[in-house]
Homo-oligomer: A and B are copies of this chain.
Amino acid sequence: MSQILVVGSLAYDSIKTPAGSVEKTLGGSANYFSVAATVLSPVRIVGVVGDDYAAQDKKVLESRDVDLTGMKVTPGKTFHWSGFYDDNLNEAQTLKTDLNVFADFDPILPAHYKDSQFVFLANIDPTLQMKVLDQVQSPVYTGMDTMNFWIQSQKENLLKVIKKVDVLLINEGEGKMLTGCSNGIAAAQALVKMGPEAVVIKRGEYGLILNHKDQGLFVLPAFPIAEVIDPTGAGDTFAGGFFGYLSHVGTRPQFEDLKKACFVGSTVASFTVQDFGLKGIMKVNKTELENRQNQYYKLLGNRS
């Protein structure tokens, strides 16, 4: 088993959904990713927080198998995102984004991070994603996420990173935006032509499309959840489960490994949406993950 390097945001979120609301709860892609990934594999984190970042919030990652050497504390406030969901829980509406200390984030890898074999570039400025990627010596497998903001404002830099990674994880709407395709399958086909060996189109409650350059398509419905409390972090914990599984396997993933990683990621994400913020995923251990995994196989009509 090897360690996964992740770069992303460490944040406080204020979230309102039809089920209720939370104020300044711990969030950010790197937190969500790390909590999810450590169910299966150790993580090394690169990120920045302000001096308001509570000791108990740091403990969330300290209590798991996360190397925090790369977590920088800077004078000022931690990144804060505030948003809401209406009945369409597939799409967050942003009310306010306060970058705070994240605005001057310059990701420098601690020396012992540079041999990381699995690397995930969560949704941040593509120039920073590239800067992290450039510091890693010889990764076995690399992946990234992105969002509409970077597609619109930094497309050229974004395409450079996409060209360099092995797998792109992207929401369906953003995959369509990036390719100009109005069909999700067509978008998945267009995206592998931009460089990565594989792409995962995330469709929220509807599941995902995996497209592998040489092996073709795999489609997976989401694990059915009758009451979604808060979808925040579903995509980041999907990525955590996905990379947690791949790093657990340890070798360069084949198509079958990627399919299995999709199962694990979807299972992990299904826990996330059942409670606010990190609460849903925090409770999950390996046994619970395996139990739901077996339920999931059954729901899909599979025997194993």
A residues adjacent to B (C-beta < 8 A): 18, 87, 89, 182-186, 189, 203, 205-207, 209, 216-222, 224-228, 259, 299-302
Contacts and interface: CB of A to CB of B under 8 A. Distances in A.
Contact of A220 (B186, B189, B203, B221): B221
Contacts of A217: 224, 299
A61 B288 CA distance: 53
A226 B186 contact: yes
Contacts of A221: 206-207, 219-221
A206 B209 contact: no
Given A218-B301, A219-B221, A302-B302, 17 more contacts: A183-B205, A183-B225, A183-B226, A184-B205, A185-B226, A186-B226, A186-B227, A189-B226, A206-B207, A209-B224, A216-B299, A217-B299, A219-B222, A219-B299, A219-B300, A300-B300, A301-B302
Given A207-B206, A218-B301, A300-B219, A182 B18 contact: yes
Nearest to A176: B87
Given A218-B301, A301-B218, A182 B87 contact: yes
12 contacts: A89-B182, A183-B227, A184-B205, A186-B226, A207-B219, A216-B299, A218-B300, A218-B301, A219-B222, A219-B300, A301-B302, A302-B302
A228 B228 CA distance: 30
A188 B87 CA distance: 17
B183 A299 contact: no
B182 A218 contact: no
Q: Which of A227, A259, A300: most chain B Cβ within 10 A? A: A300
A131 to B, nearest CB: 35
Q: Which of A203, A209, A219, A259: most chain B Cβ within 10 A? A: A219
Given A203-B206, A206-B207, A259-B301, A185 B219 contact: no
A289 B275 CA distance: 43
A299 B218 contact: yes
Contacts of A184: 205
Contacts of A226: 183, 185-186, 189
Contacts of A189: 226
Nearest to A211: B224
Contacts of A183: 205, 225-228
Contacts of A218: 299-301
B224 A219 contact: yes
Contacts of A207: 206-207, 219, 221
A217 B302 CA distance: 13
Chain A to chain B: the 10 pairs with minimum beta-carbon distance, closest first? A206-B206, A219-B221, A185-B226, A186-B226, A185-B224, A87-B182, A221-B221, A259-B301, A217-B299, A217-B224
A184 B226 CA distance: 7
